[in-house]
């Protein structure tokens, strides 16, 4: 059922657009998929019925977003599989290097910088990793509180793990998801270290010059 829903090219393009974490209208998703609004509505109805997207009405508009982070995790893994198999749909252009360097994956940092951050956290023993299992250490809790004012209470969620490995489609390695990954990305934005690209549909994350320095000071390449 899920494979059939994701396997359709138009629906796959819609779901990929929603990996930006932003809620989009049916019209915007129709443009992403290259189909008519009527066809888009039919696809969205199927995706909603399959539990992959959820609608949200605001005024006269009806917006759609991914149903939960697990859907985003599956989509990122499928993108990695497609890239390895040579079937990745790549949008070439000036934003491609930026997309691979730093991008949003639903609500957490992905791309080269996301992978670097996880590697650094493992090297500094802020998290303990065994294969795909990642656990925040006590040293990690102290580090987050001291440098970023992130408390354990901010990471608590009834249905989402604190740490989760998410396979990065461009780097072909893991970056950090879970409530910790989401909270870190939110904190980078609050501190104005990084900002989402304002281009509609873009997943690019741009770090300021000062933000790059702060990020590197905390999460420089492992071994530096």
Q: In CATH, what number is assigned to the domain containing residue 25?
A: 1.10.10.10
- The answer as to whether 34 is a domain residue is yes
> Same domain for 117 and 99?
yes
pLDDT of 58 reads 78
Answer with the one of 67, 94, 116 that is the final residue of a domain: 67
* pLDDT at residue number 161: 93
The total domain count for the chain is 2
d(CA 76, CA 51) in angstroms, rounded, equals 17
**According to the model, what pLDDT value does residue 202 have?**
84
Q: Which domain holds residue 187?
A: 71-219
Whether residues 116 and 158 share a domain: the answer is: yes
Q: How many residues does the chain have?
A: 224
Same domain, 122 and 135: yes
Tell me, what's the pLDDT at 90? 47
Neighbouring-strand partners of residue 127:
136
Identify whether residues 7 and 25 lie together within a single domain: yes
* Domain identity same for 209 and 134: yes
Q: Give residue 72's pLDDT.
A: 84
DSSP helix/strand/coil, 95:
coil
> What is the reported pLDDT for 116?
97
Q: Does pTM top 0.85 for this prediction? A: no
Domain presence at residue 15: yes
Are 90 and 193 in the same domain? yes
- Indicate whether 109 belongs to any domain: yes
Among 43, 67, 91, which residue terminates a domain? Answer: 67
Q: Are residues 211 and 100 part of one domain?
A: yes
Is residue 89 located within the same domain as residue 134? yes
Q: In angstroms, rounded to a whole number, what is the distance separating the alpha carbons of residues 9 and 67?
A: 19
Q: What is the pLDDT of residue 200?
A: 72
Is 224 part of any domain?
Answer: no
Q: Tell me what pLDDT residue 4 has.
A: 81
Integer-rounded Cα Rg, in Å, for the chain is: 18
pLDDT of res. 61: 79
pLDDT at 193: 98
Which segments of the chain have a pLDDT < 70?
Answer: 1, 80-95, 222-224
Residues 55 and 86 in one domain: no
Label residue 170 exposed, middle or buried (CB < 10 Å: 0-12, 13-18, 19+).
Answer: buried
Is position 55 within any domain? yes
CA quadruple 212, 163, 90, 15: dihedral sign: negative
Residues 39 and 55 in one domain: yes
pLDDT score for 85: 52
Say yes or no: 78 and 171 in one domain.
Answer: yes
Which of 25, 47, 67 terminates a domain? The answer is 67
State whether 138 and 30 are in the same domain: no
Q: If you search the block for the tokens 């102290």, which residue do you land on?
A: 142
């Amino acid at each position: 059922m899920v494979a059939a829903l994701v396997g359709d090219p138009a629906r796959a393009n819609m779901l990929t657009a929603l990996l930006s974490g932003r809620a989009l209208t049916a019209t915007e998703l129709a443009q992403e998929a290259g189909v008519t609004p009527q066809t888009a509505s039919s696809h969205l109805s199927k995706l909603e019925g399959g539990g992959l997207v959820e609608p949200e009405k605001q005024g006269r508009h009806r917006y759609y977003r991914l149903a939960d982070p697990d859907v985003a995790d599956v989509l990122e893994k499928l993108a990695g599989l497609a890239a390895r198999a040579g079937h990745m749909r790549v949008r070439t252009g000036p934003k491609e290097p930026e997309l691979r360097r730093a991008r949003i994956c639903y609500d957490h940092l992905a791309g080269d910088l996301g992978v670097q951050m996880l590697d650094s956290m493992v090297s500094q023993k802020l998290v303990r990793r065994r294969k795909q299992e990642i656990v925040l250490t006590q040293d990690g809790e102290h580090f987050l509180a001291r440098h970023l004012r992130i408390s354990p209470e901010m990471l608590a969620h009834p249905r989402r793990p604190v740490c989760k490995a998410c396979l990065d489609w461009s780097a072909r390695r893991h970056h950090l998801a879970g409530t910790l990954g989401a909270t870190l990305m939110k904190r980078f934005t609050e501190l104005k270290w990084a900002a989402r690209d304002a281009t509609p549909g873009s997943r690019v994350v741009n770090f300021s010059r000062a933000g790059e320095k702060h990020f590197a000071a905390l999460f420089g390449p492992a071994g530096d």
